[in-house]
Amino acid sequence: MGDLQDRDSLRDKIIGLGENSARKSYYPELQKKIKELEEREQSLYDLINNIFDAIIIHDEEGTVLAVNEGMLAMYRMPDKETALQYTIMDYSFGYEPDVVKEVFKKTLGGKPQIFEWRARRPLDNSSFESEVSARTATWQGKKVIIATVRDITERLQTQLKLIEREQQLECQNEELISLNEELAEQNVRIEQFNEQLKIANNKAVESDRLKTAFLANMSHEIRTPLNGILGFTSLLPEARNSDEAFEKYISIIQTCSNQLLTLIDDIIDLSKIEAGMMNFNPQLLNINNFMQQLCAYYKSTPSKAELICDIESRNDELTIFVDQERLRQVFNNLLNNAIKFTSSGKITFGYHIKNQEVEFYVSDTGIGIAPENTEIIFEHFRQVDVGFTKKYRGTGLGLAICKALLELMGGRIWVESVLDKGSTFYFTVPLSFEKEDANVPEANKAFSVEALKGKTILVAEDEEFNYMFINELLSKADAKLIHVLDGAKAVETVKQNPSIDLILMDIKMPVMNGIDATRIIKKTYPQIPVIAVTAYAMADDKEKALEAGCDGYLAKPINKAALFAAINQCIK
């Protein structure tokens, strides 16, 4: 970009020289040079004006000296005259003068600058983001700054979009990583589930095998005594003339009948245990007397081994609260097994007192049990000796029943054995049996229904059949029963009848549950005893009921003796 006025002045000077005849020979050549310069200047001018970027030439004070067409378009200026009216500060948006002067200083110091700048359009005060390239140059004999300005608004927007896209991709990548982790966890769970299914399938196959073997064995165990009963019953007419033969046949029939009866009892007991219907009748039992009775009975039975009863005389007065018949049933199973599997040597049974428990034991010098079988023998239908060549008879139910009975009484059972050396079975019974948890009455506190005569009992129970059962149990008590179907009605009934003597409160009821109803009643009528009656038999359910103020707790199904024991305790 040049200055036409300077060019014309130069021409005048050259023409003036033309008057001198001595220099006339140079005139055509100078005219040619001027023309070439004009053409180059016009080409440079056209080139600068055709650049899309804005070019601004300003001095060190910020005064704008020249601009191109690109600047007019970018800054929305109508013409160059208008554009030259503003300083470089007017074309900057929101910058302090010191900041602008620092840029001038660096550029004028000979160091080209490239930086991003917030540009301003003075006519409408709008702004845009730009990239500025600034370098120093000489213009009309003085040092100036040539600034090339490029609008980078679209580029920045594109960059922002790219950044947002990258962030989205990062989020998607994180989600994919998270999904991969979840898939990996799911795969692990699926593998675990498949393993569980495999184990369950193996157990099912094993259970099916055991049941098949059990049914085959059961058929054998049932048919064997039946064969003796039916066979020798058919021979009785032939033995009429022989007292010895007749008595022998009768003895065999009785033995087979007892075997069959024991088998049926085991099956029934196992069914009751699995159905949760096993009842207990605990009583105070003198341990030494009980053990002596067992010893006397088994010494009268045929056995190839010596039977030893190990009891301590210092415990002659020791009593425990336990179901005597169930305890005897456990001992019978263990002692019969010891006799069955011990062909010589001795069988010892006794007890020791350990940690608030009575630890009973039955020890023999029989065939023993392999280590891998010491756990499975307590499972249903399990026998170490199975198959058609089995040497010892049995159903595989005895030890499973013993384990279940002892656990229901709060005890446990285990075995220590050495193959071909013998076995010792240990089992425990608590010294103080939890009577309430077992739904059993206290033996030393007799209860008479006469104690309820004339009493008013509120029964909060939403199930009609359950109320009918309670009503039947108390039918001979000559007591007045009031029946309500929910906890809210129970609260209202107590308010209307504060003389109620006893409340049987179901826990799970509509409108208001028994726990909340008990809390409300106990706040106003703490003297009225409340017995919680519930199908929830977990330990924490009992604690919740007692914390709410209940004086007693009964778990369904209701046992008559347990009901009267709870009532007896509350009334006394």
Q: Are residues 309 and 387 in the same domain?
A: yes
Nearest to 558, CA basis, from 537, 538, 528? 537
Is residue 303 located within the same domain as residue 248? Answer: no
Question: How many residues can be counted in the chain?
Answer: 572
Q: Are residues 223 and 301 in the same domain?
A: no
Say yes or no: 147 and 232 in one domain. Answer: no
pLDDT score recorded for residue 2: 43
Residues 547 and 519 in one domain: yes
Rounded CA-CA distance 294/300 in Å is 10
336 lies in the same domain as 299: yes
Are 138 and 175 within one domain? no
| Residue 440 is assigned to a structural domain of this protein | no
pLDDT tens sequence across 450-480: 778 888 999 999 888 788 888 888 888 888 9
Q: In the prediction, which pLDDT does 169 show? A: 92
Please give the pLDDT value at position 539: 45
On whether both 196 and 142 belong to a single domain, the answer is: no
> Is residue 307 located within the same domain as residue 271?
no
The CATH code of the domain that includes 168 is: 1.10.287.130
The 3 state secondary structure assigned to 253-319 is HHHHHHHHHHHHHHHHHHHHHHHCCCCCCCEEEEHHHHHHHHHHHHHCCCCCCEEEEECCHHHCCCE
39 neighbors 48 (Cβ within 8 angstroms): no
* Distance from C-alpha of 373 to C-alpha of 383, rounded to nearest angstrom: 9
pLDDT of residue 483: 94
Task: Tell which residue, 388, 383, 344, has the closest CA to residue 365.
Answer: 344
Name the amino acid, one letter, at 243.
D
User: What is the per-residue pLDDT for 412?
Assistant: 92
Q: Three-state secondary structure along 163-189?
A: HHHHHHHHHHHHHHHHHHHHHHHHHHH
Residues 135 and 163 in one domain: no
Residue 395: what pLDDT?
60
Residue with tokens 């030259």: 84
> Which amino acid appears at position 358 of this protein?
V
Q: Please tell me whether residues 342 and 218 are part of one structural domain.
A: no
CATH code of 539's domain: 3.40.50.2300
What per-residue confidence (pLDDT) applies to 427?
94
Task: Give pLDDT < 50 ranges for the chain.
Answer: 1-5, 8, 17-19, 21-22, 386-391, 433-445, 537-539
The answer to whether 340 touches 407, Cβ cutoff 8 Å, is: no
For the whole model, what pTM was predicted? 0.40
Q: Quote the DSSP letter at residue 149.
A: E
Count of structural domains within the chain: 4
Domain that holds residue 257: 158-278
Pair (492, 562) in one structural domain: yes
